[in-house]
Amino acid sequence: MVVAVECTPLVRRIVPQSSYPDTACLDGSPVVYYVRTPIQSNTKWIIFMEGGGWCYNADYCVGRAQSNLGSSLWTPTNMNFGPGIMDDNPAGNPDFFGWNYLWIKYCDGASWLGNLTAPYVHQGHPLYFRGLPNLVSTFNHLQATETAFRDASELVITGCSAGSLGVLLHCDRMKALMPESTKVRCLADAGFFMDFTTAPLSLPNNQDRRVFAAEVASFSKLQTGGKFESLPPACLAMVRESAARQNHATPEDWYHWCIFPAMLMHFITTPVFLVQETYDDWQMAQIWFTGGFGDVTPPSPYTNCAFNLGNCQLSCASQTPCASANTCDPNCQIYHKLQRYQNLTASAIQRSVDPHPQHGYFVTSCWTHCQVITRWGPNRGPTISGKRMHEVFGDWYFDRPNVAKRFMMGAYPYVSPPSTC
């Protein structure tokens, strides 16, 4: 049993716009981060990049700018952090307790991707798409004000959901902002967002899974002024080459491919460890099942299967996958849709990570979204072949000999390898 201990709160720090004039949240307010008062003799750091989705169009961003995901005006002066990789209790976080902890507040709406100098005005509301300078300036401000950060010997950069995507998008850039001697590793949790543009639309009620990719494409083009300078140059060069081969005159139409990790992972040189769910409940509700789980037919009780595969009829596994609504047993329709999602996600992770020996992963088939805060540590979270997430990451980070660095659950019912959620 892990015993909870009272942790020192993280204290808000403001990145001053007088010194960093190109920084701003969506509403124009200053960028903030939270840090536990650094132990000056400790040069080991963990940075957590906050998540919170994207705003996919200007209307949505105007509303978001009036919330704590688009403004710093409502941020408290202190924040507490709970269990997980920022747990200061050695019983709950044996490898990383006692490190200096930093929480980067998310307020740009696009995983720190935006890079527009002038505000974008929508219906009289100025919107500041400054994600990239916000991130770079946060690092610069830390180095100017925190000796323990400027002299960092080790740095783990992690995050959840949109924050995790930010980790992947900027892992190499953040490493370049640190001293060459600093050991930098990136831990991306639930950030492997899928582009299903080319996925077969053979399952019933999946007429348009392309909406998500189209929203990412259009909004990222707006956030960057169509230049996409926040993305890895090598990936953009590959897209240009692909466009030239296909006589496509405007390669910027395809630059958003480099936002999706299935492509992006091939161009990250800094070692990355993925924590991901192949039944990611956010992605299944928002992308795979268009319109959320409500498009499942018939309604209850079969809808319950979408929230827990244990409610599905396992006899469906032996039946032919549904080709259309007319040929599909409604008892099994949802089961096959879920298993198709799991298979596509697991395959994409393996194709994008396995060719690169510096990367590792702990991929579960659990029904969740984000785990390094809520399911980290001994006696917490899933197991694969008897190993827990924190153990596998520790083995990978410290390069412990004679242990595996990549673990992936099979599909439900988690028979091979033996696994638990």
What tens digit of pLDDT does each residue of 354-369 get?
999 999 999 998 888 9
Helix (H) or strand (E) holding 331: helix 330-353
The order of strands in the sheet holding 383-384 is 387-388, 383-384, 419-420
Average pLDDT of the chain, as a whole number: 86
**pLDDT recorded at residue 415:** 66
pLDDT at 196: 76
- 287-292 contacts: CB < 8 A, separation 24 or more? 287/193, 287/194, 287/196, 287/209, 287/212, 288/194, 288/196, 288/206, 288/209, 288/337, 288/341, 289/205, 289/206, 289/337, 290/205, 290/206, 290/207, 290/208, 290/209, 290/211
* Predicted local confidence at residue 307, as pLDDT: 57
pLDDT tens, residue by residue, 123-181: 999 999 999 999 999 999 999 999 999 999 999 999 999 999 999 999 999 999 999 99
Whether pTM > 0.75 for this model: the answer is: yes
Q: What is the pLDDT of residue 329?
A: 62
DSSP 147: H
Mode of pairing for the β-strands spanning 272-280 and 419-420: unpaired
- The set of residues, in sequence order, having a beta carbon less than 8 Å from that of 299 and lying 6+ positions away, is none
Query: 195 Cβ partners below 8 Å, 6+ apart?
Result: 212, 213, 216, 257, 260, 262
CA distance 126 to 218: 19
What is the torsion angle, in degrees rounded to the nearest 10, for the CA atoms of residue 55, residue 60, residue 61 and residue 63? -130
The kind and range of the H/E element at 393 are helix 389-397
pLDDT of 317 reads 62
Under a CB-based contact definition with an 8 Å cutoff, are residues 382 and 168 in contact?
no
Please list the ranges in the chain whose pLDDT falls under 70: 1-7, 40, 197-211, 289-334, 415
Q: What pLDDT, on the 0 to 100 scale, is given for residue 368?
A: 87
